[in-house]
Chains A and B, each alone.
Chain A
Amino acid sequence: MYLYPVWIRLWHALNALLIIILIITGISMQYTDKDSSIFIVNFAGAVKWHNIAASVLTVSYIFFIVMNIVTGNGKYYRISRKNFFGDLVKQMKYYAYGMFKGEKHPFPVTMESKFNPMQKLTYVLIMYVGLPLIIISGIGLMFPEVTIKRVFGISGLILTDILHITMGFLVSLFLVIHIYTCTLGRKPSSLFRGMLSGYHEPEEE
Chain B
Amino acid sequence: MNSLYTRILVIICFSLPVQLSSAINWSTPNAQETDTGTYVSPFAEANETCFKCHGHEKYEYSNDLLGTKVRALMCSERIIKREEFYISNHKSFACIDCHSAEYDTFPHPGELRMELKYNCLDCHGGDDMYSSFNFEKIDADYRKSTHFKLEEEGFTCWKCHDPHTYRINIRNSKNLKETILYDNAICLNCHSDFSRFQLLSDRDEINLMETHNWLPDQTAHFRSVRCIECHTQLNDSLLVSHLVLPKDKAVKLCNECHSKNSMLMVSLYKYQSMEQRRDGFLNGIILNESYVIGANRNAYLGIASIVIFGMVTLAILVHIFFRIRRKYNK
Chain A residues engaging chain B, CB cutoff 8 angstroms: 29-34, 37, 42-44, 47-48, 51, 95, 99-100, 102, 141-142, 144-145, 148-159, 161-162, 165-166, 169, 172-173, 176-177, 180
Contact = CB atoms under 8 A, between A and B. Distances in A.
B114 interface: no
B259 A152 contact: no
Given A34-B253, A165-B297, A176-B309, 14 more contacts: A32-B254, A33-B259, A37-B255, A99-B326, A145-B220, A148-B20, A150-B20, A158-B296, A159-B8, A159-B11, A169-B305, A173-B308, A176-B312, A180-B316
A34 B301 contact: no
A167 to B, nearest CB: 12
Interface in B310-330: 312-313, 316, 319, 322-323, 325-326
A39 to B, nearest CB: 13
Nearest to A30: B297
B294 A29 contact: yes
B44 to A, nearest CB: 40
B37 to A, nearest CB: 26
B18 A43 contact: no
B10 A152 contact: yes
Nearest to B260: A33
Interface in B22-80: 22, 24
A100 B326 contact: yes
B19 interface: yes
B93 to A, nearest CB: 39
Contacts of B296: 158, 161
A148 to B, nearest CB: 5
B4 A32 contact: no
Interface string B246-272: 000000011110111100000000000
A150 B21 contact: yes
The main secondary structure of chain A at its interface with chain B is helix
Contact of B322 (A100, A150, A154, A169): A100
B255 A42 contact: yes
A149 B291 contact: no
B24 A153 contact: yes
B19 A152 contact: yes
A178 B305 CA distance: 18
11 contacts: A29-B258, A34-B261, A44-B254, A99-B323, A145-B219, A150-B22, A152-B7, A158-B287, A162-B298, A169-B305, A180-B319
Interface string B222-260: 000000000000000000000000000000011110111
B301 A166 contact: yes
A165 B11 contact: no
A151 B4 CA distance: 12
A35 B291 CA distance: 21
Contacts of A149: 20, 22
A102 B18 CA distance: 55
B291 A151 contact: no
B152 interface: no
A31 B312 contact: no
B309 to A, nearest CB: 7
B293 interface: yes
A48 B20 CA distance: 30
